[in-house]
Amino acid sequence: MPKSTAPILHRLNGMFGRLLVRCLLSDRTVLCFLSKEEAQHFITQTRCSAESAVFTPFASTIPRNELESLLATRATRELTPADPYIFSGGNTLREWDLLSDALGDCGVRVRVATRHVDRTWPSNFDVGPCTSAEFFPLIVGAQICVFTLKSDSVRSAGQQTYLNALRLGCPVVVNDAAGVRDHLADIPGAFITPTNDASAMRTIVSWLLDPANAAEVESLSLSGATLVAENFSESVYLGRLVDIADALGARLAV
């Protein structure tokens, strides 16, 4: 992630943000976080009650009017041996060194959709931004998705992207970073590798790409897509927020 061009202002902004949140905290406030680590860090930093900061798993956010068409494309795609590729992408808190070490010269093209192109990439990487209209089709056309996330930050990232990929039936490989196990620990087709272990990531990617494992990978991917549809939809996410509000109301009524 690029360093701030104004580090002093960046720190002041962070201090002001934390002060503002503390001022807003009351017994009528519940803050929702996308990882257990973030929620616990906030509780420790602010010394607020455990009920004031809760983990709320995020959701797949593919528009309903696009989902059916994307799933149909995924089910019927025919990739020739010359055309398979791995997809990665994102702009926030990505660990590009890990991705390069894991997939550089892996024998398969790697399409990386990001604005952060100003670095040296392996020769098999195709790197550049894409439009929102291109993003989901790129996932659908990929054999697998690999996301490498910063692990030296309490802040989590990538939940929406890896859940969307799983919802579309694409197996996902993600390194162990904030929020990853909270969302993916029990999902078939989702593979969590050690935090900064490029070799482990390369090994699981090789297994997923091996034609001998195609039937098992397809079965895991279909099961994962079903589980994400059932437990990580936008309606389920909104339902969790309603439950939190109801619990808060009940607590204040006592």
Q: Tens of pLDDT along 88-124?
A: 999 999 999 999 999 999 999 999 999 999 999 999 9
15/130 same-domain check: no
Domain of 243 in residue numbering reads as 7-58+234-253
94/182 same-domain check: yes
Helix or strand run (H / E) with residue 192: strand 190-193
187 or 20, higher pLDDT: 187
Q: Where are the alpha helices (DSSP H) in 177-233?
A: 180-184, 198-209, 214-231
141/213 same-domain check: yes
**Residue 235, CB-side half-sphere exposure with 13 Å CA sphere:** 4
What gap in Å lies between CA 181 and CA 54, rounded to an integer?
Answer: 16
What gap in Å lies between CA 87 and CA 74, rounded to an integer?
Answer: 14
186/68 same-domain check: yes
* Domain-embedded: residue 2: no
134/184 same-domain check: yes
191/136 same-domain check: yes
Contact present, 135 and 113 (Cβ < 8 Å): yes
User: Is residue 23 predicted with pLDDT exceeding 90?
Assistant: no
* Domain-embedded: residue 185: yes
Number of neighbours of residue 183 by Cβ within 10 angstroms: 25
pLDDT of residue 78: 55
Strands (E), 1-159: 31-33, 53-55, 85-89, 109-113, 125-128, 144-147
pLDDT of residue 8: 74
11/40 same-domain check: yes
What gap in Å lies between CA 61 and CA 153, rounded to an integer?
Answer: 24
121/204 same-domain check: yes
27/145 same-domain check: no
41/70 same-domain check: no
* Domain-embedded: residue 208: yes
**Residue 223, CB-side half-sphere exposure with 13 Å CA sphere:** 12
Domain count, the chain: 2
> pLDDT tens digits for 119-147?
999 999 999 999 999 999 999 999 999 99
Which long-range contacts link 249-253 to residues 24+ away (Cβ below 8 Å)? 251/51, 252/27, 252/28
pLDDT of residue 6: 59
* Domain-embedded: residue 1: no
Label residue 27 by pLDDT band (50, 70, 90).
confident
16/29 same-domain check: yes
131/185 same-domain check: yes
* Domain-embedded: residue 53: yes
User: Is residue 79 predicted with pLDDT exceeding 80?
Assistant: no
What gap in Å lies between CA 123 and CA 81, rounded to an integer?
Answer: 19
User: pTM to 2 decimals?
Assistant: 0.90
DSSP-derived letter for residue 211 is G
| Residue 212, domain CATH | 3.40.50.2000
Label residue 2 by pLDDT band (50, 70, 90).
very low
What gap in Å lies between CA 95 and CA 42, rounded to an integer?
Answer: 24
Tell me what the mean pLDDT of segment 191-204 comes to. 98
